[in-house]
Each structure stands twice: as structure tokens, then as C-alpha cells.
Amino acid sequence: MTIGQLGIKHPSLAAMVDAIKSRISREALHQRFTESSVKYIQTCYRYVLKQKISQAVVIKTELLKRFNRVMIVDSSCWDVDPQLADILPGSGGGASAANCKLQVFYEYKRGELSFFEMTAGTRPDTNYTHQLPNHVQAKD
């Protein structure tokens, strides 16, 4: 996220080290990419996404008043650096070698995320249909 703000589309470890203007080696930065650091970045991403969503203008209409919640379920995907193909495989062939997918369940009336997951772009959206009943309540 932060490196992306610098305009580096697919940063290498060397580019990231240069971007943070710190005395750190590529190897030292690589060692910091741990499971807990990934969870931290995902938490930061959720926080930023929630902040952006909370700033969105809610459309007030009589039509929605009869519902307690209005759930929007969406997936988005984007190509990532081909070197990430082992972690985030893409469709290959004429499509991308590496692709990332974001699944989101968003409650429109309150501006809340009830589900958020990042996966490889090859994971079908239909894998999430079994989770929908767990997120739907009476009067939704």
C-alpha cells in the first residue's frame, strides 16, 4: 500500500529498500515478510478500506427503510507481479500469470464490512456462495 503510493507498480526488494530511505539490506527486508507481518498489512488494508467506505455518501431512500440491512457481495481482482504466481496464481495463457482476488460482504446501510478475504485470482466466486446464508438475517 505504502510503496504503491510512490508509484512503483511491482517493486523489488531493492526498490522497496530505496523507497523507505533506511539502512536496511534486501535480505533483512525479505526476512521481515513473515506470517504476522502479512496479517498486519491485511489489518491495515481493512482499516483503510473501512475508512474509505465510511466516507462514502449513503443514498437515503424510502425503498431501503423496510430492510434492517442491505448486503452487497462483490469480488474484484487485479493482476500482480508475475513473480507472485506461486502464491497468487493467475489463469495463465493469454491471461495473467499472477492475479489477486478480493471478496467482500458489505452492509450498505451501516457502511460495515462483514467479510473480507484476499485469495488467488483463480479461486471461483462460487466458492463463497455457501457462506452467504451465514451472513443473511431476517429482514435483510
pLDDT by residue for the chain (140 residues), tens only, comes to 444 444 556 666 666 666 666 677 778 777 877 888 778 877 887 788 777 777 776 677 888 889 999 888 888 888 888 888 888 888 877 788 989 888 888 888 877 777 778 888 888 888 888 888 888 899 99
One-letter amino acid at 36 equals S
pTM of whole model > 0.75? no
Distant-in-sequence, close-in-space partners of 16: CB < 8 Å, separation ≥ 6: 3, 8, 29
Hey, where are the domains in the chain?
A: 58-135
* Residue 1 β-bridge partners: none
The Cα angle at residue 59 between residues 54 and 62, in degrees rounded to 5 = 135
Q: CA-CA distances (angstroms) from residue 82 to 26, 86, 94, 121? A: 19, 9, 13, 13
